[in-house]
Chain A
Amino acid sequence: MQFFIDTVTNAIHAFEDDVVVKEINGVYSFVAPSGDVLNTPTTLQPYTLPANQLLSGVKD
């Protein structure tokens, strides 16, 4: 999983590993395996998820 954070809302966005991330002048875009470009905020920046961010109760 690839994580990004919206620098405006602080919301965390998670993308599957097969999503291609492209960066142009600090703006990130995300391309699904189908080739479709995902509709994402332009204010996303890479984010490292803290170890305790994965909440308990998640079904794997």
Chain B
Amino acid sequence: MAIINPLTYTIANGDPVDATPVQANFTQIVQDVNANAALVGGNASQEFLVAPTSNPAGAVPLAQAQQQFAALNGSSNQQFAVANATATNQAVNLGQANSLYAPVAGNAAQTFAVADATASNQAVNLGQANSLYSPVAGNAAQAFAVANATASNQAVNLGQLQSANVNSATTAGRLTNVQVTAPSRALGTIYYNTTGYTMWVWVVCLTSNSAHVYSVVNGYTINNGFTPNGNTVPAFFIVPNGGSYQVYIGGSGSIQSWTEWY
């Protein structure tokens, strides 16, 4: 489109110049420029036309822009193609996303592979879980190892349990028929069982004049009896570990034998 239309007056060489035609031409030039060139300079309506172009440096009309690029701005069909991303800052198309990430989101097959975890923050695959942890859940073999428990809230292994039972039974009184022959024992003296085991004590006293034989364990006194005409009187009692024990005679008498088992 021409901006300046052909001038009204033509002035040739040798023609006398009058102000009227010259002024008229200038006036037309001003009017045409204002009317036509102002549109290109950015008027409000911007209604000047631009033809579709393939020139990368050329202006693109609205229709061409909408056809080719509106999809990028979120059209309803979104059918513009996106190549497979090859860098972390590139868009990923649906096919690429499905092939790479859909299994992770939990598809029905769940056939995506997970390598054996080697750190505490990694996923464990089924094979690794079975090999490592299913025994703990109580398999038939129960061959998983349990270290000796050292706190009240820990599992006890069989060896520890058996040892504890044996120790408990031993502490209660193993009675290995060890006869104490020393040190000496005396009537009326209070002794203490520091063997670490329950002690069984058998004392035989020689008494006279119906003297009574008493045994005292942890302060509790037992009358073990007497004989009317002077004879041997046995005293048999059990002393718990750490307990005190004593034998004395109410009357006259002496020890004939003093034997302790623990």
Contacts and interface: CB of A to CB of B under 8 A. Distances in A.
Interface of A: 1, 3, 11-16, 18-19, 30, 32-34, 36, 38-40, 53-60
A60 B183 CA distance: 6
A57 B184 contact: no
16 contacts: A11-B189, A12-B186, A12-B188, A13-B189, A13-B244, A15-B194, A36-B241, A36-B242, A38-B194, A53-B186, A57-B254, A57-B255, A58-B185, A59-B259, A60-B181, A60-B182
B190 A16 contact: no
Contact of A54 (B186, B242, B259): B186
Contact of A32 (B184, B188, B194, B257): B194
A48 B254 CA distance: 21
Most chain A beta-carbon neighbours within 10 Å: one of B183, B246, B257, B259:
B183
B190 A14 contact: yes
Interface of B: 181-192, 194, 196, 206, 218, 241-242, 244, 246, 254-259
B196 A32 contact: yes
Contact of B244 (A39, A53, A56, A59): A39
Contacts of B206: 57
Nearest to B193: A32
Nearest to A32: B194
A2 B68 CA distance: 110
Nearest to B187: A55
A32 to B, nearest CB: 4
B125 to A, nearest CB: 52
A57 B232 CA distance: 12
B236 to A, nearest CB: 15
B254 A56 contact: yes
Interface centre among A18, A30, A34, A58 (most CB of B within 10 A): A58
B181 A59 contact: yes
B194 A59 contact: no
B242 A38 contact: yes
Contacts of A30: 192
Nearest to A6: B190
A59 B257 CA distance: 5
Which 8 residue pairs are nearest across A and B when measured between Cβ atoms? A32-B194, A57-B255, A57-B254, A58-B184, A13-B190, A12-B189, A59-B257, A34-B196
